[in-house]
Amino acid sequence: MGLFHKQSDDKRTGDNPLAEATDQQKRFFDDYFREELRNHGRWYFDKVIKENGDLFKKDLEAVIAQVNTDLKEHVSRQLDGAIAHINATLKDHVTRQMDVQFAEYSKTMQEAQDAALKNMTDGSNELRDQYHELSSLLKDNIAEQNAMMHKAFEEHKAQLQSMDEAQSASLTALNQSTEKLQSQYQQIGQMLDTQVTEQRDQIVKAFEDNMARTVEHYILGALGDQYDLKAQLPAIVKQLEDNKQAMVDDITL
């Protein structure tokens, strides 16, 4: 569009070539063409930048990887050295500390052993003394117990003798009681016979009374169902006649 832009004006400027060339140049390099050139340049610049960025990125990644590897190796070497140094230092320190502690512990143990040995020696002496005291005390107690047992034996002997005497007396009293019981038994037997006889008489008497009631009951039951009022009427009238005067007196009172 820029090449044919303002073409109608070329016929009017054909007289001056420089002007015409200048004019042609102006027409050729118009704003539109310059914009096209700028866009093209911008596109080309972007392309170059992008390609260089990619290359730079790849190089940078390769460098970073190389640096990482080198750094890792360096750090490993440094750490190994430092750890070896620290180990050696720590080992020396711990060894010294443990030597000191062991020395203190040995000293303390020695002191404790000495104190325990001294206590055991004292306790042994004390036990020996107590043993001697207890032995003498036991001998005294045995002698005292012996005397008490002898005394108790004598007392028991006297008590046994008195018990024998009491047993003889009890036996005599028991024989007398047996004789009394025998006589009481005979008396009770006689009383029992008497009471049995009386009880038998009472039972017979009660039986007779009950028999009388039984006979009465039988008579009442037998007669009660046999007589109606018509059958009883003559006897009732006869009894009424016997009690007539009393009833007349009561009614006319």
What is the binding site for other proteins (CB under 8 A)? 204, 208-209, 211-213, 215-216, 219-220, 223-224, 227-230, 232-233, 235-237, 239-241, 243-244, 246-248, 250-253
Within 10 Å of residue 36's Cβ, how many Cβ atoms?
Answer: 13
Question: Angle CA(148)–CA(149)–CA(153) in degrees, nearest 5?
Answer: 120
User: Rounded distance, CA 35 to CA 168, Å?
Assistant: 165
Radius of gyration of the chain (CA): 79
Cβ closest to other proteins, residue 98 vs residue 247: 247
Beta carbon nearer to other proteins, 63 or 237: 237
- Closest CB to other proteins among 142 and 215? 215
The two tokens of residue 173 are: 């009293």
Smallest distance from other proteins to CB 216, Å? 5
Kindly tell me which of 15 and 228 has the beta carbon lying closer to other proteins. 228
For the bound state, the minimum distance from the C-beta of residue 203 to other proteins, rounded and expressed in Å, comes to: 13
Count of CB atoms situated within 10 Å of the CB of 27: 19
How far is 253 from 246, CA to CA, in rounded Å?
10
The Cα 45–Cα 201 span in angstroms is 163
CA angle 147, 152, 154 (to 5 degrees): 100
Continuous H helices in the chain: 17-28, 31-224, 229-242, 244-251
Find the shortest distance in angstroms from Cβ 173 to other proteins: 52
CA atoms within 13 A on the CB side of 52: 6
Q: How far is the CB of 197 from other proteins (least distance, A)?
A: 16
User: Which residue's CB is nearer to other proteins, number 14 or number 224?
Assistant: 224
Kindly tell me which of 43 and 218 has the beta carbon lying closer to other proteins: 218
Question: How far is 115 from 147, CA to CA, in rounded Å?
Answer: 48
Rounded least distance, CB 210 to other proteins, Å = 10
In angstroms, give the least distance from the CB of 196 to other proteins: 19
